Structure 1
Amino acid sequence: MAEHPELVAEMPAVARLSTPERLKHAQKRRAQQLKKWAQAEKESQGSKVGAERKRRKRSDGNTKRVTFPASVQLLEAAARHDAEEVRHFLASGISPDLCNEDGLTALHQCCIDDAGKVVPVLLDAGADVNARDSELWTPLHAAATCGHLHLVRLLIQRGADLLATNSDGNMPYDLCEDELTLDCLESAMAEQGITQEKIEEARGATEREMMVEIGQLVEAGADLDAPRGHGATLLHITAANGYAEAAELLLEHQASVGSRDEDGWQPLHAAACWGQVQMVELLVAHGADLNGKSVLDETPLDVCGDEEVRAKLLELKHKHEAVMRSHHRHKSLLQRRTSSAGSRGKVVRRVSVSERSSLYRREHEREAIVWQRAARRDSAEDDDDGQTDAELRRRAAADPPAPSPPRNGSALCTHGPGTGATVHPVPDPAPRHHLPATLPDLKRHRAATKLQHLPGGDAATPMGRGDTGDTGGTGVAGGAGDGAGEPPLLKLTAPAEEPPAQKQRCCKVM
């Protein structure tokens, strides 16, 4: 059978045909239409038979059906506020306290959704009015938070705990923002005689229980870092809940601040996430890593949502970085001091060489002075002619003075047996460059001087470097003066010291 667009397209051609031709064309189109209709009917009959066969086959075999746990069915019916279906489930033996993976019961769900018709059905079936979820919330917490006044009254009538605390340490009245609902809660607390002391005692009950448990574990020698739910340790739990005393007890017994749960969170992550400022300071003081990362590469600062805790973390981080920079500077200073030990040793060695040179110089000078004094004593006490100094002085006073010899020592004056004096030329003493310069030369020079004395008092003694004797400036035989024959002082040269290393500029300041 031709489609509609095809029929529309051939209408101009049909309009040009004659009347008999138009009739023939119409009959042809009708035959095609009937033929396709019959074919469609045949196919539809076959499909119905096939469907019937399939249905029969499924009914004959075992069929698979999707089923849900009873807890899911009960929670789903409560969420739909279907009191009849809830009653039907409870009548079939399902427990009203069934919960999901978060610990949420049907009563929690109804208090959140304000299902006023379902709540009495659950309570009449024996549902726990103080049931707790994974974060220790009770149905009264949920109703007070949402401001459902009539449900709060109903729960209080059925025995709800007004002092129940959740994981954050909050009671139902702490979470209530509706004025009428808050007045209802406070009136009920006043009627039950709840005072501030009881409130504080109730808030610390969980921490006291945890401290008792920690004490038992310490006495038993158990591992305080043993993982619990989701891999969290006791220190994770105390950090998240702000239990400072329990945390101090754990840290006192060497609980690890670096333990991780299944998400890679350390106790500091938990304290930062739940806004526990005191716990943040305590953990950092015990060496918690401010830059520790979780499985998702999150630091405690990344998971922190409280501005006060965030500011404290930033402050602690800056202080920690300042302390580390100070440690690095101290460490580098120690390294520089250690590396300068070699140069300090060189300075000590240079000073030692200088001191040794000075010591050698002083010893040489003292030795030369000793030799000079010994020479003076020999010449004064024991002359070659056997006369003493007093006799020489008397003889010199009795004899006429003799002319002074030349100052360069070119003549030797002697006294003969006659009345006159005889002058004998003598060679000049050794030039200055031939004078003894060392201690052995000095000894040889002294020995040669003593051998040149003549016996009988007529021997001549050369004067040393043009110096005159003690008797009026005349060189007398056998009476060498204090300056006669004295060796000159040694002119010692100190060993050459190492020149100090030239300083090089290390920066542009020098």
Structure 2
Amino acid sequence: MSFNCLEDVESTIPVSPLHLAAYNGHCEALKTLAETLVNLDVRDHKGRTALYLATERGSTECVEVLTSHGASALVKERKRKWTPLHAAAANGNTDSLHLLIDSGERADITDVMDVHGQTPLMLAIMNGHVDCVHLLLEKGSTADAADKRGRTALHRGAVTGCEDCLAALLDHDAFVLCRDFKGRTPIHFASACGHLEVLRTLLQAALSTDPLDSVVDYSGFSPMHWASYSGEELLGWG
């Protein structure tokens, strides 16, 4: 007989009761298990903990139960190396994210990186979750942290065109002339995407930062070049 409450898990792969309770949002069952089990950070075949599943599913009560019993917010799943913080930020689960940050495991908990060097702040920006962006910045997330390609949260804000996210970053002194691995600034990205208001905001910030900067990337292209180009090469995150 097949028993598959996780949908994407084959019945032949063992799944812990802890994972099942977290996935299905059964907080009382989860509390009973958390009070009984020694290891709350057991991982499934994808490397996900019960806390990761509860966060991804948006079950704040389950997240609270697990964090209050000492479940780690820093255990990474296998493929993308996301922690529960990444899952919360990417899905816009602000209350869960708050609980995870306040678990107090590490002073720099908000700057934990995935396999590509992305922080929860970067994922919140990419998905337009303004509340998560504000929370992360207020809790000490580094506004200018760069991924493995040198791209920051501000680069991502320039791509998505979320003006509120951009304003939050600039309010926390994000450096508008930061350059990625090809010398491209957020201004290049905003130009390629055609986000006019974002572009105006970035240009104004750039002028107050360094009015003499020519804003040319390492290939000699200015934002004006990218404004007239399709932008596919520029925007490929890889």
TM-score bracket, normalised by the shorter chain, equals 0.5 to 0.7
Select which of 194, 205, 212 maps to 1:188: 205
Q: AA paired with 1:188?
A: A
- RMSD value, Cα: 2.8
| CA distance, structure 2, for counterparts of residue 134 and residue 141 of structure 1 | 13
Residue number in structure 1 paired with 2:90: 79
| CA distance, structure 1, for counterparts of residue 142 and residue 85 of structure 2 | 15
Select which of 61, 67, 89 maps to 2:100: 89
Closer, same or farther in 2 for the Cα pair 1:193/1:167, shift >3 Å?
A: closer
| CA distance, structure 2, for counterparts of residue 116 and residue 127 of structure 1 | 14
Q: AA paired with 1:81?
A: G
| CA distance, structure 1, for counterparts of residue 97 and residue 172 of structure 2 | 20
1:63 deviation in Å?
8.4
Equivalent position SS for 2:83 = helix
C-alpha deviations, 1:342-388, integer Å up to 9, x for none? xxxxxxxxxxxxxxxxxxxxxxxxxxxxxxxxxxxxxxxxxxxxxxx
Q: AA paired with 1:150?
A: D
Q: AA paired with 1:92?
A: S
The TM-score, its normalising length taken from structure 2, stands at: 0.55
| CA distance, structure 2, for counterparts of residue 115 and residue 88 of structure 1 | 17
1:168 deviation in Å?
2.1
**Larger RCO (CA within 8 A; separation ≥ 6):** 2
Alignment of 1:190-205 (within 5 A): 190-197=207-214, 199=215
Closer, same or farther in 2 for the Cα pair 1:73/1:190, shift >3 Å?
A: same
| CA distance, structure 2, for counterparts of residue 106 and residue 136 of structure 1 | 16
Closer, same or farther in 2 for the Cα pair 1:192/1:61, shift >3 Å?
A: closer
Higher helix share: 1
Alignment of 1:164-243 (within 5 A): 164-176=178-190, 177-197=194-214, 199=215
1:83 deviation in Å?
1.1
| CA distance, structure 1, for counterparts of residue 38 and residue 182 of structure 2 | 52
Select which of 109, 130, 135 maps to 1:121: 135
The question of 1:148 aligning with 2:176 is answered no
| CA distance, structure 2, for counterparts of residue 112 and residue 184 of structure 1 | 18
For structure 1, list consecutive stretches of 5 or more residues without a partner in the other structure.
1-58, 204-240, 244-304, 307-510
| CA distance, structure 1, for counterparts of residue 174 and residue 125 of structure 2 | 13
Alignment of 1:353-432 (within 5 A): none
Equivalent position SS for 1:96 = helix
Q: AA paired with 1:88?
A: L
| CA distance, structure 2, for counterparts of residue 61 and residue 157 of structure 1 | 44
Q: AA paired with 2:154?
A: L
C-alpha deviations, 1:22-78, integer Å up to 9, x for none? xxxxxxxxxxxxxxxxxxxxxxxxxxxxxxxxxxxxx99988943251651001111
| CA distance, structure 2, for counterparts of residue 147 and residue 103 of structure 1 | 22
Equivalent position SS for 1:182 = helix
Closer, same or farther in 2 for the Cα pair 1:62/1:155, shift >3 Å?
A: closer
1:187 deviation in Å?
1.5
1:161 deviation in Å?
0.8
Equivalent position SS for 1:117 = helix
The question of 1:157 aligning with 2:157 is answered no
| CA distance, structure 1, for counterparts of residue 115 and residue 210 of structure 2 | 36
| CA distance, structure 2, for counterparts of residue 185 and residue 148 of structure 1 | 12
Closer, same or farther in 2 for the Cα pair 1:189/1:134, shift >3 Å?
A: same
Q: What percent of counterpart residues are identical?
A: 20
Residue number in structure 2 paired with 1:476: none
Q: How many residues align?
A: 147
Residue number in structure 2 paired with 1:439: none
| CA distance, structure 2, for counterparts of residue 188 and residue 182 of structure 1 | 10
Q: AA paired with 1:104?
A: Q
Q: AA paired with 1:191?
A: S
